[in-house]
Structure formats: C-alpha cells, structure tokens
Structure 1
Amino acid sequence: MKINWGTGIVLAFIGFISFIMYFIITMHTDEKYYHDLVTEDYYKQELKVQKDIEKQKNANALATNVDWKKTDNGIVIMFPETLKAENITGKVFLYRPSNKQFDFDTVISLSNHNLLIPDKRLLDGRWNIKVDWQYNGKSFLYKKEIVY
C-alpha cells in the first residue's frame, strides 16, 4: 500500500495532536505533577504589597532584625534583644510551596526573645516563613525562604 503526501500529513497531525492530548491529560490527572499556586486569594494578597514594603523597611531600620535557626526541637525565631519581649505581638506564618495542607500560622507569645516552632509541625523541605509583628504600635515584617 502506497501512502501519498496528503495521507502522510494527516497522519502526522493526528500523531502530534494525540501526543499533546496525552501530555495535557497526564499533567492534569497525575498527583506527582500537582503543585499549589502561591495563595488562593492572590488578588487580595496583592493589595497588601505596599503595606508589606513599609513593614519591611521598618524591620530593616532596626539595629538587629528577626533571625532564625534550626535546632533539634524545631525552628527558633529570635527577636531583637534590645526590645521588650512582652511588648512584641503578631503572627508567624509558615507556607509550604509544594502542599498548602501543611501551611500554618502561630500567634507570637514571648516570655523571652525566642519563639519555638516545634519539629513535629515541620516536614523536611522548603518553607517560606513570614513574621508579621508589632512593637509599641509600629509594624514590622520579616520574610525568608528556608530549607528545613
């Protein structure tokens, strides 16, 4: 059987379209290719950007900014020693880019200048940490990508 040019072109198109459809269906149905977007309410979060920029400027103006370190018990978030710990309020939000089910936030309640996030709440891998805190009516923000 002889295949002419027209039949060859049609078969090539059918093959190409079949490959593309297989690729699209695989990407939409296979769990290993699923990744959450940044946030569900993306546009609402986008409106807060200028406020966050001001908070980050306030934090950068401090003599020492918030810092973190990994310990055997979890992550310790260290606030500046020059500030009174009882006047520090706010929230710590940990965001897992690969799976939003592991995202959580914690209210800042300090007796000393350190806040411990327990090891049992953290999986190994990449986390985005966001510390949104206030001291005597002034707002500060610390953001960092960490690998635990």
Structure 2
Amino acid sequence: MKFNWGTGIVLAFVAFIIFILYFVVLSFRDPESNHDLVTEDYYKQELKYQQDIDAARNLYETGARIQVAKTSEGIRIGFPEAFEPEKIIGTVSLYRPSNKQLDFKTPIQLSERQLLIPKSRLLDGRWDIRIEWNYKGKPYLFQHKMTYSQD
C-alpha cells in the first residue's frame, strides 16, 4: 500500500474520530458527571411559562418592588406596601444551580412585610430566588439571582 495525501487525510479523520469518541465515552463513564435536567419537572414548567409571564406582568403593572437584601441574619425579602401581609399566600423557592440537593422552598408567612431566609440554610455561592404568590386571587411572580456570601 502506497502512502499518499489521500491515505494521510483518511488516517487523520480516523484519528480525530477516535480522539472525540474517547472523550465522549470518558464523560459518560465519569461518576461525577451529572446529566440531569435543570429541574425534575422541566417540561411541566415549560408548559406554564405563559402563566409566569402574566404573573410577572401583574407585579410590573402594580409598580410595586420586591426588595431582596443580604443581611447578617441571611436574606431579607421585603414585600411592597401596596400588599397587606396577611393576605399574601405563596412560596419562596431558592435554587442552587451547582447542586440540586441544596434547593429548597419555604412558604410565605408574613406578619410584617419582611421575610427572612436564615443564613443557616444558605451556603456561599449563587442562588436563584423565585417568589410566587397570590394576593386577592391574582398571581404575582418575582425572580432574582444573587451571589450570597457569609462574611
């Protein structure tokens, strides 16, 4: 067999394909690789996306602002004065993109306009906060991303 340009190109392609396949197999066999979806019910959440848009628009149209602040006790969430605290029903979800075992939900129970997520439940790093509530039968949604550090 004579080695020419055509044979060299074919061997280069075969070597490249073997190289890529090696890394594909390696990534699937690695026990630390996580191939999960972002959330368990991804498709269900996708179907209710328009409802989320409407709920976020409801908050925008009121002109009210949700205040999220890092304090020495944890994360303090301030609800607008336009809402009576006793009539707010909903949940606050904290999502950790790097580790789904740290995700948690807490119900909104207010006597004042403030809700505190204690620092004992939080680790340093990025958190996605999703606040969903109903007020007088109307849904509202607020989403916020923050980097938390306990310093």
For Structure 1 versus Structure 2, the TM-score category normalised by the shorter chain is: 0.7 to 0.9
Q: 2:136 & 2:69 partners in 1: Cα distance?
A: 26
- One-letter amino acid of the structure 1 residue matched with residue 37 of structure 2: L
Structure 1 position 97, deviation (Å): 1.5
Calculate the TM-score normalised by the size of structure 1.
0.86
Secondary structure in 2 matching 1:106: strand
The equivalent residue for 2:25 is 25
Pair 1:36–1:114, CA change in 2 (3 A): farther
The equivalent residue for 1:37 is 37
- One-letter amino acid of the structure 2 residue matched with residue 4 of structure 1: F
- One-letter amino acid of the structure 2 residue matched with residue 129 of structure 1: I
Structure 1 position 58, deviation (Å): 0.9
Q: 2:69 & 2:20 partners in 1: Cα distance?
A: 46
Q: 1:86 & 1:51 partners in 2: Cα distance?
A: 24
Secondary structure in 2 matching 1:26: helix
The equivalent residue for 1:115 is 115
**1:93 maps onto 2:102 in alignment:** no
Structure 1 position 14, deviation (Å): 3.5
Q: 1:87 & 1:135 partners in 2: Cα distance?
A: 6
Q: 2:94 & 2:36 partners in 1: Cα distance?
A: 15
Secondary structure in 2 matching 1:61: helix
Q: Which runs of 5+ in 2 are unaligned?
A: none
Structure 1 position 105, deviation (Å): 0.5
The equivalent residue for 2:75 is 75
Q: Which runs of 5+ in 1 are unaligned?
A: none
